[in-house]
Structure 1
């Protein structure tokens, strides 16, 4: 997906901060950067207060710390990988936004995938749009989703029941021993 992300330029008719291009493999570096910004702001706040406890120079750093706390609580790096993914989505999904997600199910248990589906459904009711690349039959089962797969270099609209990955998953769950004995 890296070439797509590098080649893609998202533009808006109306200037907005409602949207997200998310790739699962970028998440760890994102959480580390957020933690660094929070710690840098706290350190700068301490330095300024030591020099002058009443200085207004603290305001931008205090605001950054407050905003990060509002968005991500004590930090995305503190919770489990799956929970922090959901925290990120919860903080970033806004009504009317456009969201491009690449394999958001990667760290999510089936139960957490249902939580993500619930968030997506809520946002769709509020005019948000989602483009999701996934291997998850659970996410593919989103009601009213248009599902496409790439076949021989072409994008083809397919029904949920006709997706090979869905068929294989159903067959495996119905009779896992049938598959495992051949491995």
Structure 2
């Protein structure tokens, strides 16, 4: 994959197969991990897609830990831990970095974002900082906003550019309109020399044109276009043939 190096911070990852304790144990038994040799990243946006349980979040988490992020999310400076549930995959990955050094970075995890928001409030209460940490997130406690509002406040205010941003299912609390706004924000940040690696189920978020999509499946990892993904195909079929698909779904349910 020949790509411009401008704005590229993480070039690729390699699985250190000789150090893997066993390919029969989690997470190495997952097909996407078992078959992983080297994965190259787009200098702007890389997507990890696929069905639940294929290892998208596990792989993204391992890369984030390798870059120095907290397993539960946040910036490099976040060191809180509510429960150590991350795998040991990060210890068996080699991250190949560019000579470019990011000035900013964030690991966003929808499932543990509540913990990040709680930690920000706690640090501001205890630290007596000026400006407060929350000021870089828009100034309003993330707990005093809806999930969607707090997510977007982070994307809009905390992501400043010249950075690497790892995102795990950022669409979780975003409406379709907000997902399109997120695409616009990604474009703004890409123009400020930012790199994104995103695990997602959203065909809207996958639509950024200057990107690469990797599909994780039981067959391994395959590069594909947006139109080739199951997410896009199923959504298109449902929208164009809603009544027929609903009839088939309900018929299958009755037969069971």
Q: What's the TM-score once normalised by structure 2's chain length? A: 0.58
Structure 2: gaps spanning 5 or more residues: 1-56, 69-96, 251-256
Whether the 8 Å contact between 1:38 and 1:64 is mirrored in structure 2 is: no
1:143 to 196, 201, 209: 209
Residue 112 of structure 1 is matched in structure 2 by 178
Whether the 8 Å contact between 1:19 and 1:92 is mirrored in structure 2 is: no
Q: What's the TM-score once normalised by structure 1's chain length? A: 0.79
Structure 1: gaps spanning 5 or more residues: 42-60
Residue 130 of structure 2 is matched in structure 1 by 63
2 CA distance for matches of 1:5 and 1:37?
24
What are the Cα deviations for residues 26-46 of structure 1, in whole angstroms up to 9, with x where unaligned? 1011112212223334xxxxx
Residue 36 of structure 1 is matched in structure 2 by 122
Residue 113 of structure 2 is matched in structure 1 by 27
What are the Cα deviations for residues 113-167 of structure 1, in whole angstroms up to 9, with x where unaligned? 0111111010111111111111100011111221110133522110111111111
Structure 1 165/18 Cα, relative in aligned 2: closer, same or farther at 3 Å?
A: same
Q: Which has the higher strand share?
A: 2
Shift of 1:83: 1.1
1:173 to 234, 239, 252: 239
Question: Across the two proteins, how many residue pairs are aligned to each other?
Answer: 163
1:9 to 42, 49, 66: 66
Which structure has more relative contact order (CA 8 Å, sep 6+)? It is 2
Q: Which has the higher helix share?
A: 1
What are the Cα deviations for residues 38-81 of structure 1, in whole angstroms up to 9, with x where unaligned? 3334xxxxxxxxxxxxxxxxxxx14153x423433121111211
CA RMSD of aligned residues (A): 2.2
- Partner SS for 1:91: helix
